[in-house]
Chains A and B, each alone.
Chain A
Amino acid sequence: MNVALIILIIETILIGMIPRAMPIFASALGETVDQSAGILNLGVEGIMLMGAITALLVDFFYHNPVLAFLVAGFVGLIFGAIHGILVISMKLDQTVIGTAIWFVGWGLSGVLYAATFGLSSSPPTVPTLPHIYIPYLTNIPFFGRFIFGEDPLVYILIGALIAVDYFLNHTKQGLNLRTVGHDPRVAEIMGVNPYLYRYAAVLFGGFMAGIGGAYITLGIVGSFYFDITAGMGFIAVALVYFGKWKPYRVFVGTLIFGAVYVFYFMMEDLYPKIPYEFYQMLPYIVTLIMILVIGTRAKPPASLAIPYIKGE
């Protein structure tokens, strides 16, 4: 291969990976906050599916992507609240409830889709988000499209990344939140209400998962099919482990995933002799390897997935 081709490949990966990474990133960012407060939300996959279908429905009937994203986020918020009530107030097992929330979201998204569009009809399409092309800057060779040619939500999410990182690491409330995740008893002694922080965290996590799901339908595919997320929610949870609960590291992890997705689409064209099923396995195998590599060194918040019961 010559140099020009390699540069072209890298450029294609760079341009393609950002949108592919965003749904996982939005959910993973919410999950980072969730887990920092000690809540393991395994229902992300289900919430993403609900976000995806609601965004599609709203955009299909009202042609308003902004409203679609907001409604999807709101649905995510509701699911986050349900999850919160079950695991924070009722202190149920977070793993089982997470799985149950996944089932509910999984089934309900399919039901809503079929109730609106029927089972056999061809899938509805909505336009995907427009990209912003900043004049001149977009034309910079190699990096231009990659940095200055994304759709608006990408920039909003990167803003959210900076904000969340600042919040977690540089504000008093962020410190409180991490203390709640580490040891709610200490937090309580410090005069912090652990329940309040945990609820705020699950609500934020749910909202972001809804947005992440909405991005799949409105940002990438422009349509919906059954189980459209195909495990992205769980990959997001895995990436929080990979990112060691640090937003920037999580972001890097999701970019790697974006690159993996683009890579396999590209390799399918370049080397069609290898059965495509192996390419489709790739994201999941990469997840397993990532967990394996990082797992030994990652140290989760001490009270992750442990309900806080006053006085015990």
Chain B
Amino acid sequence: MILGLLVSSAFFILFRLSPFIGLATLLYEGFGTVYGWYNTLRMTIPLLIIAVGLSVPFTAKFWNIGAQGQFILGEIFATWIGLLLSKCVPPLADIIIAMFFAFIGGAIWAIPPTVMKLYSGANEIITTLMMNFVAVYLLLWLVSGPMQGAQARLVGAPSSAPIPAQDMLPLIPGTQISTGFLIGLALAIIFYWILKYTEFGYELKLIGEGEQVASYSGINIKRQIFLSMIISGGISGIAGMVYVYGITSTLIPQFFSDISTSFGYVGIPVALMSSLNPIGIIFASIFLGGILNGAFVMEAIYSIPIDVVITIYGLIMIFSIIGIMFDLPKLIKRWKR
């Protein structure tokens, strides 16, 4: 992980910036100031929730790359129901209902790839990714068509009407951190318990170790994987709801090429670098959220594109999976064989 950071800091040379200063700025902007911390946590919240969701199917080695699409569907469902109900129910009920609908939305988007994998063996990475693209264009159409807010239509901006202020997730008193962070922490703890101490978590682990072993021990593989994907999609959907209700307050388009809103992709390295341990994910998401935030600032100051982050994430993924799977002596032994 640290190796990944060091390697990627070499990229700063391309922008006539010394790698050391580049790395220091990146980390300082992310973690050095109170304001930086607020922004970092703002990035962290969706990452944390998505990565917790991803850790469930990943445990069974079912690679759900579709968190981005599920996230978008969660946003769409939550915003839709929120705008519909905002006048007739109290704020708390509105938030709970929106969260429920976000879960449904994300889960719906997770179902087709899962069914295709389980019943026809289609590679889940490709199918979930294709669903992401469809979701991106669906969102683009909705916010510039049927769901475009009246004010946004006047200026021709692609965005929905804002969620009324009283329905938004409140801030944690005394800070500028949305209570979405607490939702994320709660989910992380719940899923730490589920993956570690329940039969469901244990069976997922067995499936991950090899389908043969799992089927010998009488596990209903299809059912458990299906369940894990519903959970994962739903949680990604909740992340979408928290993002809209806690941060943006409107539904805005998310282009595939724009990494700053691609929390679904960034969630993958977050989940992997913490060995799929939800408690570890809390720290990993804060760390990668900080890098993302630092990169934002650097884009503004040094016009270094935010894309540098995705390279860092890729390298972190490679180095962390090397670290997860092997300790070094074993690796060398394996190589020699």
A residues apposed to B, CB below 8 Å: 40, 42, 46, 86, 89-93, 95-115, 118-120, 225-227, 230-231, 234, 237-238, 241, 275, 277-278, 280-281, 284-285, 287-288, 291-292, 295-296, 298, 300, 309-311
**Residue among B61, B116, B303, B310 making CB contact with A114, cutoff 8 Å:** B303
Beyond known contacts A106-B311, A292-B122: 14 more, CB 8 A cutoff: A90-B322, A90-B326, A91-B334, A95-B63, A105-B314, A107-B307, A107-B311, A113-B305, A114-B307, A241-B126, A281-B134, A284-B131, A295-B121, A309-B337
Is B133 a contact partner of A99 (Cβ separation < 8 A)?
no
Q: Is the CB of B310 within 8 A of A230?
A: no
Distance of B272 from chain A, by nearest CB (Å): 7
> Are A292 and B334 touching (Cβ within 8 A)?
no
Pairwise interchain contact B130-A234, C-beta atoms closer than 8 A: yes
Closest to B317 in A: A100
B313 contacts the other chain (CB 8 A):
yes
**Which A residues are CB-close (under 8 A) to B304?**
111, 114
Choose among B14, B134, B313 the residue that contacts A107 (Cβ–Cβ < 8 A): B313
**With contact pairs A104-B315, A106-B310, A288-B112 given, residues A95 and B127 touching in the complex (Cβ less than 8 Å):** no
Q: Are A99 and B125 in touch, CB under 8 angstroms?
A: yes
Q: Are B125 and A95 in contact (CB under 8 A)?
A: yes
B141 adjacent to A89 (CB under 8 Å): no
Complex-state Cα separation, A300 to B65, whole angstroms: 21
Does B265 have its Cβ within 8 Å of any Cβ on chain A? yes
- In the bound complex, residues from chain A placing their C-beta under 8 Å from that of B61 are 93
Q: Is B318 at the interface (CB under 8 A from chain A)? A: yes
Residue from A104, A277, A291 in contact with B127 in the complex, judged by beta carbons closer than 8 Å? A291
CB neighbours (8 Å) of A310 from chain B are: 337
- In the complex the two chains form, is B257's CB within 8 Å of A225's CB? yes
Give B14's nearest chain A residue, CB to CB. A115
| Cα separation A165 to B323 with both chains bound (whole Å) | 39
The answer on a CB contact under 8 Å between B141 and A275 is yes
Instruction: Decide yes or no: A241 and B14 within 8 Å by CB, A108-B311, A291-B116 being known contacts.
Output: no
Whether B141 pairs with A107 at a CB distance below 8 angstroms is: no
Contacts of A119 in B (CB 8 A): 299, 303, 305
Whole-angstrom distance between the Cβ of B210 and the nearest chain A Cβ: 11
B50 CB to closest chain A CB, in angstroms? 15
B133 and A284 contacting across the interface, CB-CB below 8 Å: yes
**Contact, CB under 8 Å: A100 / B321:** yes
Q: Please state if A227 and B313 are interface contacts (CB–CB under 8 Å).
A: no
Closest approach, in angstroms, between the C-beta of B150 and any C-beta of chain A? 19
The answer for the CA separation of A119 and B304 in the assembled complex, in Å, is: 8
Which A residues are in CB contact (< 8 Å) with B65? Answer: 99
Report if B269 contacts A (CB, 8 A).
yes
Closest beta carbon of chain A to B117's beta carbon, Å: 9
- Please determine whether B141 and A92 come into contact, CB atoms closer than 8 angstroms: no
Q: Report chain A residues within 8 Å CB of B130.
A: 231, 234, 238, 284-285, 287-288
- Once the chains bind, are B321 and A96 in contact (CB under 8 Å)? yes
Name the CB-closest residue of B to A307.
B334
Q: Which residue of A lies closest to B265 (CB)?
A: A103
